[in-house]
Amino acid sequence: MDQLRAKKGFICDMDGVIYFGNNLIPGVKEFVDWLYKEDKKFLFLTNASAKTPKELRQKLQRMGLDVDESHFYTSALATAKFLSRQKPGCSAYVIGDPGLYNALYDAGITINNVDPDYVVVGETSNYNYDSICTACRLVLEGAKLIGTNTDLTGPTEQGIMPACRALVAPIEAATGKVAYFVGKPNPLMMRTGLSKLGVHSEEAAIIGDRMDTDIVAGVESGLDPILVLTGVTTRDVMEQYPYRPRLVLNSVGDIPG
């Protein structure tokens, strides 16, 4: 644990690590207070694409935790950055919520349901058959298929629910095209996270509840991979993977000591 506490930077997942649904996970406030007290550099790096950093900050404020907007980075922002660099001034047909739309608009990407360069899929409660059909038609006509992240499921107060990869799957199946996913564990998002922190990967830890995104991202990017058991992964599930976190904690509340 001393090795973890000595790290200069912390990249933390949000769903299942900081909160569960609309409830702060016990020990999180103490952890964030410790980050500020010890002058640690930290970033909440989330694969969720539905909310903007401002909305995420306000969500935490409603739970009694105030964190500056600069400490949030989402897969929507990473996707917008990726597309704007791949094809500046491009257009996209979007299946997603306001956080994704806002990120794309801010990057100069226009919305287009006629002949877009890309079909972009993120989490949304407005997922429906018509949008799937439109996405399939556009992909078959040449639009490139992009997913904001590879999460198959996500934790909610109602239990485990489908996430981005599950929403992309019908489009892949119907078109025969394979999506490109931008969020964790894609090195593009990890490098951006480290750049925003201003620390080297060896000086940072990644804390998450998912083996297939957070922990593998840490292993492959050289960050110290720390698993918490407050989200989707149990110790039994962890054993099914060929790679391991360096530490398994009950929650981030274990870190301040």
Q: Check if 106 is active-site.
A: no
Q: Read off the pTM.
A: 0.93
Residue 31: name the closest of 2, 65, 54, 82 by CA.
65
Q: Are residues 34 and 120 in the same domain?
A: no
Q: Are residues 133 and 192 in the same domain?
A: no
CATH number of the domain encompassing residue 155: 3.40.50.1000
Model pLDDT, residue 20: 87
What is the pairing mode between strands 41-46 and 9-12?
A: parallel
- Average confidence (pLDDT) per 10 residues, the chain, 257 residues: 95 94 93 97 95 96 95 97 97 97 98 98 94 98 97 78 94 98 94 94 96 95 96 94 97 93
CA distance 56 to 87: 28
Model pLDDT, residue 17: 96
Residue 99: name the closest of 113, 83, 79, 127 by CA.
79
Last residue of a domain, one of 181, 207, 234: 181
CB-neighbour burial class of residue 93 (10 A; exposed 0-12, middle 13-18, buried 19+): buried
Model pLDDT, residue 229: 96
Model pLDDT, residue 159: 74
Q: Which domain holds residue 199?
A: 2-47+184-254
The catalytically annotated residue of 13, 97, 151, 224 is 13
Model pLDDT, residue 242: 97
Q: Check if 15 is active-site.
A: yes
Strand spans (E) along the chain: 9-12, 19-20, 23-24, 41-46, 72-74, 91-95, 110-111, 118-121, 144-147, 153-156, 159-162, 180-181, 204-208, 224-228, 247-249
